Homo-oligomer: A and B are copies of this chain.
Amino acid sequence: MPLDIHAIYRIRSNARLITERARTIAVEQSVEMPLEAIDDPFVNSEIVGRVLDIKDISTKDSGGGVFEVRIALATATIGSDAGQLLNMLFGNTSIHDDVMLHDVELPCEFVRAFEGPRHGIDSLRRRVGAQRRALTSSALKPQGLPAHALAALAIALARGGIDYVKDDHGLADQAYSPFAARIEAIQTALRRHGSLTHYVPSLSGDLDSMRQQIAAARNVGIDTVMVAPMIAGLSNVHRLVREHPAIAFLAHPSLAGSRIAPPLLFGKIFRMLGADAIVFPNYGGRFGYSPETCRALARAALADWHGLRVSVPVPAGGMSTDRVREMLDFYGTDIMLLIGGGLLSAREQLTEATAAFVEAVKAYPYG
């Protein structure tokens, strides 16, 4: 079966037009030209996308017709390039604002060829001396502070016993806090402090810049980095993961607002690339994801899936210590909790606030 991908789109359309809309997407995402002008039998049988199913999923709330359309596409058009995967699943169709790429079913060998996360949750726990519990993390900010001030924050968080401290995703290679000076200052401070807290710098720029940043980070003993795949380009992230098997990668959702369903984009595609952990906007914070979306995302990232290691879900964005129990009940305990601003607001009591967060996570009845 050469049309071995099933892409599932959700389309707002009236019922009269949906058959034609579905057929149009199947063509757009495969050969992108009128079928009557194609006479090559290989192309017709093994490349042209095919509509397999159209389901009316309209509800009273959806305010008009919504259809779920299943389309078969060929992995032959993709090879093993991550950027080309998105190109063929949703490249031109992304421009239609009434179509969402809802999910994708991919052949096992295709998924396995991407290899996925190199570390998984056990390794992320081992690095910080944790056993079965959930992991804790926070962020260094605000943007604009010099390296030594960010290092002081890292130490205050480390004193509170945090597992991972990541750069705010806005930190790049700014004049007031150049990448090299920042990682040196923070990593040196943490090493002197002697804690297990891991610092996770944020990569930016083109593939070469990111490679240089990883090399600089490794030089000072850092083994975990963050990258925003939708900004860096998926193929480049995949390349970085392959080139640096000892490094763990956190994926950040910057610029990931799109018509690709978050459970698919984060839980499957970023996982295929090799994201060991995935930061995403938690429900009830300052972003609009629903509990259902968050649960589906975390489930996808943690599900048994063609033998890939899991990506650790990292719900974030307006979190606080008093939600720790609720979140562990909701997501389960194979998770990393991230509180950024909520801790930094404690200012002089940053260490105590961090300790309370860490304690709340440790006190959860892991059973």
Please state the number of chain copies in the assembly.
Answer: 2
B32 near A340 with CB under 8 A, answer yes
Chain B residues positioned under 8 Å from A281 (CB to CB): 92, 95
Q: Which chain B residue has the least Cβ–Cβ distance from A287?
A: B95
Which of B175, B228, B235, B239 sits near A91, CB closer than 8 Å?
A: B228
Q: What is the minimal beta-carbon distance from A101 to any residue of chain B, in angstroms?
A: 10
Chain B residues positioned under 8 Å from A235 (CB to CB): 204-206, 209, 231-232
Chain B residues positioned under 8 Å from A14 (CB to CB): none
* Residues 23-66 of A contacting B (Cβ, < 8 Å): 24, 28, 30-34, 36-38, 40, 42-43, 46-48
Number of interface residues of A (CB under 8 A): 83
B30 near A257 with CB under 8 A, answer no
B91 near A169 with CB under 8 A, answer yes
Q: Which chain B residue has the least Cβ–Cβ distance from A90?
A: B255
Q: Which chain B residue has the least Cβ–Cβ distance from A29?
A: B170
Q: Does A83 contact B (CB under 8 A)?
A: yes
Q: Which chain B residue has the least Cβ–Cβ distance from A99?
A: B257
Q: What is the minimal beta-carbon distance from A266 to any residue of chain B, in angstroms?
A: 11
Q: Which chain B residue has the least Cβ–Cβ distance from A317?
A: B92
A173 near B95 with CB under 8 A, answer no
Q: Does A76 contact B (CB under 8 A)?
A: yes
* Residues 65-119 of A contacting B (Cβ, < 8 Å): 76-79, 81, 83-84, 86-88, 90-98
The residue among A81, A172, A206 with the most chain B CB atoms within 10 A of its own CB is: A206
Which of B43, B176, B205 sits near A81, CB closer than 8 Å?
A: B205
Q: Does A306 contact B (CB under 8 A)?
A: no
Q: Does A259 contact B (CB under 8 A)?
A: yes
B176 near A76 with CB under 8 A, answer yes
The residue among A33, A96, A173 with the most chain B CB atoms within 10 A of its own CB is: A33
Q: Does A288 contact B (CB under 8 A)?
A: yes
Q: Does A245 contact B (CB under 8 A)?
A: no
A79 near B174 with CB under 8 A, answer yes
Q: Does A123 contact B (CB under 8 A)?
A: no
Q: Roughly how many angstroms separate A341 CA and B34 CA in the complex, as a whole number?
A: 6
| A 222-249 to B, binary, CB cutoff 8 A, 1 in contact else 0 | 0000001001111110110000000000
Q: Does A333 contact B (CB under 8 A)?
A: no
Q: Roughly how many angstroms separate A155 CA and B148 CA in the complex, as a whole number?
A: 63
A31 near B255 with CB under 8 A, answer no
* Residues 263-291 of A contacting B (Cβ, < 8 Å): 281, 286-289
Q: What is the minimal beta-carbon distance from A83 to any residue of chain B, in angstroms?
A: 4
The interface of chain A, by Cβ under 8 A from chain B, is 24, 28, 30-34, 36-38, 40, 42-43, 46-48, 76-79, 81, 83-84, 86-88, 90-98, 141-145, 149, 168-170, 172-176, 204-209, 228, 231-236, 238-239, 253-259, 281, 286-289, 317, 340-341, 344-347
Can you pick out 12 interface pairs between chain A and chain B where the beta carbons lie within 8 Å of each other?
A31-B170, A46-B144, A48-B142, A84-B172, A86-B255, A87-B169, A91-B170, A92-B287, A94-B258, A96-B257, A96-B288, A206-B238
Additional pairs, 12, CB under 8 Å, beyond known A97-B288, A231-B235: A32-B142, A32-B143, A33-B142, A34-B345, A37-B341, A42-B144, A83-B205, A87-B170, A205-B235, A207-B207, A208-B239, A231-B233
